[in-house]
Amino acid sequence: MPKVVLAYSGGLDTSIIIPWLKETYGYEVIAMTADLGQGEELEPLEEKAIKSGASKLYIEDLRKEFVEDYIFPTLKAGAVYEGKYLLGTSFARPLIAKKLVEIAEKEGAVAVAHGATGKGNDQVRFELGVKALAPHLKVVAPWREWDIRSREDAIDYAEARGIPVPVTKKSIYSRDRNIWHISHEGGELESPANPATNDMLMLTVPPEKAPDKPTFVEIGFEKGIPVAVNGEKMDAVSLLEKLNVIGGANGVGIVDMVENRLVGMKSRGVYETPGGAILVYAHREMELLTLDRATLHYKEQMALRYAELVYDGVWFAPLREALDAFVDSTQRTVTGTVKLKLYKGNIIPAGTSSPYSLYDEELSTFSKDEVYNQADAEGFINLFGLPLKVRAIMEKKAGLR
């Protein structure tokens, strides 16, 4: 019997995919769950996968690799999609694809499968990962093949086969959770006119229910990588977990946005990224102090392209690897500490210091100084503005003004 390895979350879609793969293709289904920090969600999965018809379940602890090799490179790049989305689902998919391929090769499987829909971005992210790492493997995407057309249909399919699922027709959010974030889609969120409700939040308290006094947190960086919280050195996973608790308690990191999907449509989602929001803000503050103007501004342009590559699932591409080399070069002096004030959903800078600071108080002061000759500015302005002056003279001679 040929084998298929399924990226299994235990959610509605992947739960019904197991019997569908067996009924449709005659496959032996091996389930694989990537532990990316979902926490308690992982506990019932093995029993559930077997009851759903899988022959076995691999649960792979990928938290360290996820944070160090996927989250932190994106953080250092400053990549944020469309100014709001911190890419929590996007950079998880290539790692899951990588592990799917590894287990497929170990098990001698002929195919891998995923539960992404034909409307979403994740189908692209999974399949580009497989194409880059194991192009010989077949990829089965049931949502592009079966007759199920809605989550309501999927619930009916599950109930007919006695498969327990974590959603109902009344509570029908599609969620994705890892150590970086949790996303919420579907239900009333499908209308951008509807406000998000506080009852959907799982990692973050509503800002209005956050403490009435601010919380201060200090992040230590070494070459662009966060290494300490409040002076305590921590490993990558523990650091992010701690910041999730601190940020979540202060209502930080809630994003409600309408985004442009890769496949051409707009979608609406609510993201909770409490620790990630703190790190992105802190890293930006550190760069503002330690990077020169030309490098900072060019890096901002590059960050937009980097975010698109991650969002589009092109993680295993030469361009991303080349951009990483540029980013790492810029991060050599991004070392120091950033202090932030968290207050009812807001992140406010409260002081930044670095041994590589480019801020010179003597140059910047409004008080009397002995190092800056203000008269020098006249010659600079004359040269800097020379093209404008020449154009104005030409336009006057040509009667254009």
Looking at the annotation, which residues are catalytic?
Answer: 13, 93, 122, 174
Mapped onto helix, strand or coil, the DSSP state of residue 320 is: helix
Has 271 been labeled as part of a binding site? yes
Please, what is the Cα angle at 310 between 181 and 306, to 5 degrees? 115
Has 115 been labeled as part of a binding site? yes
Has 325 been labeled as part of a binding site? no
CA gap 65, 360 in Å, rounded: 39
The sign of the torsion formed by the CA atoms of 371, 372, 376, 382 equals positive
CA gap 203, 251 in Å, rounded: 9
Has 251 been labeled as part of a binding site? no
The residue among 316, 330, 391, 247 whose CA lies nearest residue 97 is 316
CA gap 126, 94 in Å, rounded: 6
Strands (E), 296-401: 336-343, 346-353
Has 8 been labeled as part of a binding site? yes
CA gap 8, 52 in Å, rounded: 11
Write b or e for each residue in 118-132: b if 16 or more Cβ atoms lie within 10 A of its Cβ, otherwise e.
eebbbbbbbbbbbeb
CA gap 130, 150 in Å, rounded: 26
CA gap 76, 92 in Å, rounded: 17
Has 150 been labeled as part of a binding site? no
Has 10 been labeled as part of a binding site? yes
Has 7 been labeled as part of a binding site? yes
Mapped onto helix, strand or coil, the DSSP state of residue 268 is: strand
The residue among 349, 325, 326 whose CA lies nearest residue 337 is 349
Has 259 been labeled as part of a binding site? yes
Return the biggest CA–CA distance within the chain. Answer: 85
Has 353 been labeled as part of a binding site? no
The residue among 2, 12, 111, 14 whose CA lies nearest residue 57 is 14
Has 125 been labeled as part of a binding site? yes
Query: Encoding tokens for residue 168?
Result: 């109902």
Has 357 been labeled as part of a binding site? no
Q: At what angle do helices 151-160 and 12-25 cross, to 10 degrees?
A: 60
Has 122 been labeled as part of a binding site? yes
Has 117 been labeled as part of a binding site? yes
Has 328 been labeled as part of a binding site? no
Has 267 been labeled as part of a binding site? no
CA gap 392, 401 in Å, rounded: 9
Has 375 been labeled as part of a binding site? no
Binding-site residues for ATP: 7-15, 34, 115
Binding-site residues for L-aspartate: 117, 121-122
Binding-site residues for L-citrulline: 85, 90, 121, 125, 174, 183, 259, 271
Binding-site residues: 7-15, 34, 85, 90, 115, 117, 121-122, 125, 174, 183, 259, 271
